[in-house]
Copies of this chain bind each other. A is one copy, B any other.
């Protein structure tokens, strides 16, 4: 335990309210008795706390656990599917998207539009995002959902603790305060898309909690092959960007990974002990600018031979002989990663230049990742974003370099394509709003008590 403020009755209540919400978010519906067993709280304590959460509209009674048993203790509680929701937004190079996610982590509404944002002015782009967010909020209201906040993913360096884009090379934005353009009443968070993509993976965003959540007939969750079990029991997810205060001693269960989030550029995010590593200014994760061949081509960042010079979208297309064909290379309206579709087609057809470009990119990736792996010792490297569909060509040379260059003998991490595809940043953004509400329910509880 790392004390940062005195424990008090009020903080204890806050802690326990949040604990109950997170258990229900992670494990699905449970009876009061099961919650008492799971937490170590008394049955009476659980009853009082859950009553407050029901009054605040965060929890609902789902009816009896088993028809044969009588009385409230057997009645399952679950997170509400109306009431609060999180709004997530994304400004990509070629699209804008907004979604609303309910407390159960399900996407309920989703709007997306192609948008040529490369070298754009922030004003019109963010005006479109605001309109889309308002439209999604209006639809959400019709489902009985009201946004607790809005989080926006951008392909940019965002100064930590602010809503300011310091530098977005592919949008062409510099020192842009997103809050100033978006306005509005909702609490706003702005972060790098790679960070939200990694958090989506950590939180398994878009995948509802395991049990039936009140709807009969759903099978319990079975672990997917690339997902080991989420977090050991007793380790529950917390606020903002961390999954648990105390890590499993062996760091197990997908709590230490490197998440690569390639779009027009190559971003990444580091999750360690279930927490996002942000860095001093919030600029951590710039895998695209790790030097690979230090005397290589000059990069826009001022360096030479950065990973983006070998595995970034323009470099890949150029090496494959596909640059200068914008019509084929970037068909409009196909959304994220569309520019790489022709490359995948050619590689599939066995086109030598395409295959060779992917092999070189995979090797460069492997060299940059070897440095990252030696520094960070992740359990897994997750390949998300627009490069994920190219995994079958990128992975073999990447893994070969990783195996050769990982210092700890026999301990090279697995590289797995992200199951979230290109949707990670949008899902992670929406989920971050939901997680923040679950971590800090006291305001909602107090408001309900005020109404009572």
Binding site for B on A (CB under 8 A): 1-8, 11-12, 14-16, 18-19, 22, 39-41, 157, 160-161, 166-167, 234-239, 242-246, 249-252, 256, 268, 270, 272-273, 275, 277-294, 301-304, 306, 367-368, 370-372, 374-379, 404-409, 411, 413, 439-440
Contact = CB atoms under 8 A, between A and B. Distances in A.
A5 B40 CA distance: 8
Instruction: Choose among A251, A282, A283, A291 the residue with the greatest number of B CB atoms under 10 Å from its CB.
Output: A291
B375 A4 contact: no
Given A272-B277, A279-B377, A371-B368, A407 B7 contact: no
Name the residue among A252, A303, A413 with the largest chain B CB count within 10 angstroms.
A303
A1 B16 contact: no
Contact of A235 (B4, B239, B286, B405): B4
Contact of A3 (B4, B19, B166, B292): B19
Contacts of A293: 293-294
A277 B288 CA distance: 21
A280 B413 contact: yes
Number of copies: 2
A96 B7 CA distance: 42
Contact of A284 (B278, B287, B302, B376): B376
B4 A166 contact: no
A6 B279 contact: no
Nearest to A438: B3
A371 B368 CA distance: 8
Contact of A236 (B3, B270, B306): B3
A290 B280 CA distance: 22
A278 to B, nearest CB: 7
Contact of A407 (B11, B278, B289): B289
Given A1-B11, A161-B250, A371-B372, 7 more contacts: A2-B242, A6-B40, A270-B376, A279-B378, A283-B408, A301-B407, A306-B405
A294 to B, nearest CB: 5
Nearest to A294: B367
13 contacts: A2-B244, A2-B439, A5-B39, A8-B12, A250-B280, A273-B275, A284-B376, A284-B377, A286-B377, A287-B374, A301-B406, A301-B407, A372-B375
